[in-house]
């Protein structure tokens, strides 16, 4: 059964990310119900919504969406340091 997942992804690099860069990332993930973070730090991240049957599939789809958004936003490609996924069922139990 396919359900909605909220997937958070963070990347960390060797320089500070600007306000404008995070705004570009936010614009790039907006179509996926996403938000972006990272202004003024050496990390940037996004929370996106994907449809998937399993946590592993959700993480794969969320990571791909994040990587596409990073390219669209023109951000430097930093290594991913955190990925987590929570299903809508788990979120409603919290």
The mean pLDDT value for 58-66 works out to: 98
Q: What is the CATH number of the domain that holds 9?
A: 3.30.70
> What is the domain count for the chain?
1
Region at 86 (left for phi over 0; alpha for psi -120 to 50; beta for the rest): beta
What's residue 92's pLDDT? 62
22, 36 Cβ separation under 8 angstroms:
yes
Is 94 among the domain residues?
Answer: no
Structural domain boundaries, residue 71: 3-89
Is 74 among the domain residues?
Answer: yes
The mean pLDDT value for 36-40 works out to: 96
The mean pLDDT value for 36-45 works out to: 97
Is 58 among the domain residues?
Answer: yes
The mean pLDDT value for 10-15 works out to: 97
The mean pLDDT value for 64-92 works out to: 93
Is 25 among the domain residues?
Answer: yes
Is 19 among the domain residues?
Answer: yes
Is a pLDDT exceeding 60 seen at residue 3? yes
């Amino acid at each position: 059964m396919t359900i909605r997942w909220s997937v958070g992804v963070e990347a960390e690099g060797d320089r500070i990310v600007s306000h404008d860069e995070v705004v570009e990332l936010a614009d790039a993930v907006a179509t996926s119900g996403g938000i972006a973070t990272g202004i003024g730090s050496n990390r940037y991240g996004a929370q996106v919504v994907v449809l998937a049957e399993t946590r592993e599939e959700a993480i794969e789809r969320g990571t791909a969406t994040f990587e596409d958004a990073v390219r669209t936003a023109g951000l430097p490609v930093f290594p991913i340091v955190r990925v987590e996924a929570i299903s809508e069922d788990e979120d409603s139990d919290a």
